[in-house]
Amino acid sequence: MGNSNNRTVTQRTNGTWANIKNGNQKASSVHDTQAEANEAAAEMLRNSGGGERTTMGANSNGARIVSKDTIAPGNESQVRDTEH
């Protein structure tokens, strides 16, 4: 089973961009630009433990993946744990 935190950014028929958690039909957020939707998806992934963000092309290329990025968890300390 894959990571349930994965998200897809895709353009809607009205030209807005949707940030959708994979497996859901309803958008988590809707944005005017692809960049805003990508940032929202990345922030949600960081806050939920990381995952993969897939960005689909604009409506003319809608079925085409234009980028795939792995987003690291945002809540992990950069300090190495030396206690364990």
Percent of the chain with pLDDT over 70: 81
Query: Rounded to two decimals, what is the model's pTM?
Result: 0.80
pLDDT of residue 1: 43
For the residues 67-72, what does the mean pLDDT come to?
92
The residue with greater pLDDT, 50 or 3, is 50
For the sheet with 17-21, list strands across it.
Answer: 29-31, 17-21, 7-11, 51-56, 65-71
pLDDT tier, 34 (very low <50, low <70, confident <90, very high otherwise):
very high
Place of tokens 């353009």: 11
For the residues 19-38, what does the mean pLDDT come to?
96
